[in-house]
Structure 1
Amino acid sequence: MAATFNGRLFLKNTAYLTSTGFKVILAYSRTTNFFYAYYVLRTLTAMICEGSINCLALAYVADNVLERQRTSAFGILSGIATAAFVCGTLAARFLSTALTFQVAALVSMLAAVYMRIFLEESLPNGENLTQPILKSGQDDHCQDGDLSRKAPVLKKIPSIQDIIGLLKSRVTFSQAAVVAFFNSLAEGGMQASIMYYLKARFHFSKNHYADLMLLLGIAGMASQLVFMPLLAPHVAEEKLLAIGLLGGIADALLYSVAWSNWVPYATTIFAVFIVCVPPCLRSIASKQVGPTEQGKAQGCISGIISFANIISPLIFSPLTALFLSEDAPFHFPGFSILCIGFVTMIAFFQSVLMRGPPPVSSHKISCNSLVA
């Protein structure tokens, strides 16, 4: 959210350089002392910049892409990240452990150098964007219902009251935040329990997990890089969001009643729809705020997602362990996965209630909304 009042590129470079440091440690040595040093530095850097790279990248894209093209742009950005995940997973299969960390550190440094040399600072000019939600000054005056001059960029760190005001000022943004919370709660629960579940049910090994992750990555990459840019101009992002959540519900339901070890591989087809959820959510949130508040809006959504990811393992890991044990109240090994499907269903129902933002031309702020 600091991207609201500082240069996005400066903050992105700072976050990336900070997160690169801990990779260098294991690239240099993997002894016990270096291992603990890695985790200490990893924890400290996560407190500062965990998720901020993605958040700032989204804000940077929002600064340079028109509203009607943002869903496709966010989808392509997510698709490239998924492609990188696939390439990294493949590389890890063929590289030695020591070489894996060295390559990871080298690629991170190359990315930081690329940003420093080729990316220019984004300076939002407010064209084709909605007006800011939060007031940035009280000395603005209106003529003929329009702003007489552009609102200045905020110069102070947003407070909790600002974030609460951000959530209260737009119904659609608040609904997007609710969808983000429950969808991330379900995703975090799935990540925390699915490997344990598959190992207990079908004796999956690390190679099975790697194959499954590759299939998921390939399906997600194809969807975000090919299908989303084709569908986004013709299908409302709210509908794409609902379709993606329906895919998540179907995925969880099939996992919960999986009767053979090929079922998890078959469910990877739903990844084509599931990966549509994050870009659509980010695009909807982006359109609810002005050019000076893109970092704040994306940071707010990222914070909600992080909070959901923290509490989801605390809920679903014990639940999974209980129903895979002999002390289960009733025989249903996939009950925790079924509950994850119900959580996704809450997000789906909330997404159905969402309505797209009105046309940009109708987003005019009156004097009362600025001064009040």
Structure 2
Amino acid sequence: MSDQPVEPAGRQWTHAFRFIFIAAVINAVSFGIMIPVLPNLIKEFTGGDTAAASEWNVVFATVWGLMQLFCGPILGMLSDRFGRRPILLISLAGLAIDFLFMALAPTLAWLFVGRVINGLTAASFSTANAYVADVTPPDQRAKAFGWMGSAFSFGFLVGPALGGFLGDIDLRLPFFVAAGLTAINWLYGFFVLPESLPVERRVAKFDWRRANPVGSLVFLRSHRDLLGLASIGFLFQLAHTVLPSIFVLYTGYRYGWTPGFMGLTMMGTGLAGVLVQMLLIGPVVARIGERGALLLGAMAGAIGFAIYGFAPNGWVYIAGIPVFALMNFLQPGLQGLMTRRVGPSAQGQLQGANQSLQGIASVIGPIVFGLTFAWSIRHSGVMHQPGLAIYLASSLLVLAFLLALKMGRAPETVRAPA
């Protein structure tokens, strides 16, 4: 079996890409709905204690990250062996169940169970990325990954605004709506979405030696440049966990924002991201290349986070959104460079390895950022820096930028690591 990617004839790949893009948009909207309300639901269970809610948020996010750490590589290998479509269906089913647990949970323990189920099965975005690599020619992947990023941003454009509006009515209502949208997406995947990985391009057998976090790291080490790029991705994912970890509690504490206004702010952030991903990434990457996009995204993210952490009022925070939106150049550039380094039968394994690193980031990030935020507001008399956790995220992206200067060059040929 050849390790060289097989490019679809003509523009056939654009039709296949539309299928997965629609699925990604629906998934992102349903995911975005819960973001402005889940921390407030946790806060309700803790009797209104913001610091305690932040600490419980750490527990939830850490457990979810641990599930991703161990299950991400397994799901990635399964998608290389059996195809992308069945793994997407499993992932969407787990997400729908999680939303129902959130909607009906009488205690924090029930919320915890739902997060565990979701963590065990969550592979929708990583499998979607493998799907994109299957159907997209290498020279079009940065643009395609930019569009996939816009699907996620569209989720932040519509989802949080809808979730905040519904959450102002009833904190449980957004989760019922999210569960319904996810169920619709599952039906779309079952009846409409075609398989992207032909039988002849799948791996011959499932390899347990690689379907674990250690095996994933060995896979990434098989090519020095791939490991360096994965390190950049890890720093990005780690920094990226700061806002999911503390945004709702941070903006509520510092600026007094309501769930509805938080949702509108996320909507504005999502709109800026969509504009960047749909209008700028294609032509800009064509001019500055994938490495240039990677460097631009890392530096813009570092500056954007610095503005968010410094902002003494909500309007300064909002003014930082256009700068922060340019961080959306990072992931398409990074994914474009990484997928060029492996063949078609290893794209799922690559995305599973990336998801494993994301799992590690999801374990470490909420602990570092959530506890840092809790400490900063509990000791505001000692050091009044509620944005301290966001400053840490900014520093991580500065490190990512410096690493990208060295590791972000495009490979001369595509090969599949052993």
- The TM-score range, normalised by the shorter chain, is 0.7 to 0.9
Contact 2:239-2:396 at 8 Å conserved across structures? yes
- CA shift, 1:121, in A, is 1.6
**Is contact 2:93–2:186 with CA below 8 Å preserved after alignment?**
yes
Q: C-alpha separation between the residues in 2 aligned to 1:348 and 1:71?
A: 18
The correspondence of residues 19-38 of structure 1 with structure 2, limited to 5 A, is 19-24=95-100, 30=104, 32=106, 37=110
Match of 1:180 among 233, 254, 257: 233
Aligned positions of 1:355-366 closer than 5 A: 355-360=408-413, 363=414
TM-score, reference length from structure 1: 0.80
Instruction: Please give the alpha-carbon distance, in whole angstroms, between the structure 2 residues aligned to 1:153 and 1:247.
Output: 42
1:38 Cα deviation (Å)? 5.7
Aligned: 1:165 with 2:257: no
Residue among 87, 91, 101 paired with 1:15: 91
Report matched runs for 1:1-372 at 5 Å: 1-2=76-77, 3-24=79-100, 30=104, 32=106, 37=110, 39-40=112-113, 42-50=114-122, 52-95=123-166, 96-97=169-170, 100-123=174-197, 153-157=204-208, 158-160=210-212, 162-326=215-379, 330-360=383-413, 363=414
What's the CA shift for 1:299?
1.1
Instruction: Provide the rounded CA distance (Å) in 2 between the counterparts of 1:212 and 1:182.
Output: 25
Distance 1:176 1:328 in 2: 41
The residue number in structure 2 matching 1:130 is none
The verdict on how the C-alpha distance between 1:48 and 1:324 changes in structure 2, with shifts beyond 3 A counting, is: closer
Whichever residue aligns with residue 75 of structure 1, its letter is: G
Distance across 2 between alignment mates of 1:364 and 1:243? 27
Q: Is the 8 A contact 2:131 2:197 kept in 1?
A: no
The residue type equivalent to 1:237 in the other structure is E
Distance 1:196 1:123 in 2: 42
CA apart distance, 1:211: 2.3
Q: Determine if contact 1:26/1:38 at 8 Å carries over to the other structure.
A: yes
How far apart, in 2, do the equivalents of 1:232 and 1:200 lie? 39
Query: Following TM superposition, by how much is the alpha carbon of 1:267 offset from its aligned partner in structure 2, in angstroms?
Result: 0.5
The answer as to whether partners of 1:63 and 1:124 remain within 8 angstroms in 2 is: no
2:379 and 2:411 map into 1 onto residues whose CA distance is: 54
Equivalent pair of 2:155/2:270 in contact (CA under 8 Å): no
Aligned partners of 2:96 and 2:180 also within 8 Å? no
Query: In the aligned structure 2, how far is the partner of 1:327 from the partner of 1:109?
Result: 44
Please give the alpha-carbon distance, in whole angstroms, between the structure 1 residues aligned to 2:381 and 2:284: 44
CA deviation map 1:80-122 (0-9, x unaligned): 2321332222333444546544432322222112112222222
How far apart, in 2, do the equivalents of 1:65 and 1:104 lie? 30
CA RMSD of aligned residues (A): 2.9
Q: CA deviation at 1:331?
A: 5.0
Three-state SS of the structure 1 residue aligned to 2:120 is helix
**Counterparts in 2 of 1:311 and 1:237: CA distance versus 1, 3 Å:** same
**1:209-253 superposed Cα distances (whole Å, 9 cap, x missing partner):** 222211111111111122112323332112111111111111122
1:201 Cα shift? Answer: 3.3
Q: CA deviation at 1:31?
A: 6.6
How far 1:204 moved relative to its partner?
Answer: 3.0
Change in Cα spacing, 1:312 to 1:37, as seen in structure 2 (3 Å) is closer
Residue 189 to residue 328, structure 1, CA distance change in 2 (3 Å)? farther
Q: Distance in 2 between matches of 1:104 and 1:338?
A: 32
CA displacement, residues 128-169 of structure 1 (integer Å, 9 cap, x when unaligned) = xxxxxxxxxxxxxxxxxxxxxx99544333255642332222
Q: Displacement of 1:26 after TM fit?
A: 6.0
For structure 1, the residue ranges without an aligned partner over 5 or more in a row are 127-149
What is the total number of aligned residue pairs between the two structures?
Answer: 337
C-alpha distance in 1, partners of 2:203/2:352? 20
Partner Cα distance (2:157, 2:341) in 1: 33
TM-score, normalised to structure 2's length? 0.72
Q: 1:81 to 1:164 in 2, by over 3 A?
A: closer
Please say if residues 8 and 59 of structure 1, whose CA atoms lie closer than 8 Å, have aligned partners that are also in contact: yes
Q: Percent identity?
A: 22
1:273 to partner: Cα distance:
0.7
Post-superposition Cα deviations, 1:154-206, rounded to whole Å, max 9, x if no partner, equal 43332556423322221221112111221222221343344444344333333
Report the structure number with the largest CA radius of gyration.
1
* Alpha-carbon distance change, 31 to 16 in structure 1, aligned in 2, over 3 angstroms: closer
Contact residue 78 and residue 224 of structure 1 kept, 8 A: yes
When you count helix as a share of all residues, which structure comes out higher? 2
Distance 1:152 1:256 in 2: 46
- C-alpha offsets along residues 9-58 of structure 1, whole Å, 9 cap, x if unaligned? 1221222223223434566xx3728x855642x234223212x1111111
| Gap change, CA 1:215 and 1:300, over 3 Å in 2 | same
Name the CA shift for 1:39/1:198 in 2 (closer, same or farther; >3 Å): closer
CA contact (8 A) 1:124 1:291 kept: no
- Confirm or deny: 8 A CA contact 1:13 1:112 kept in the other structure: yes
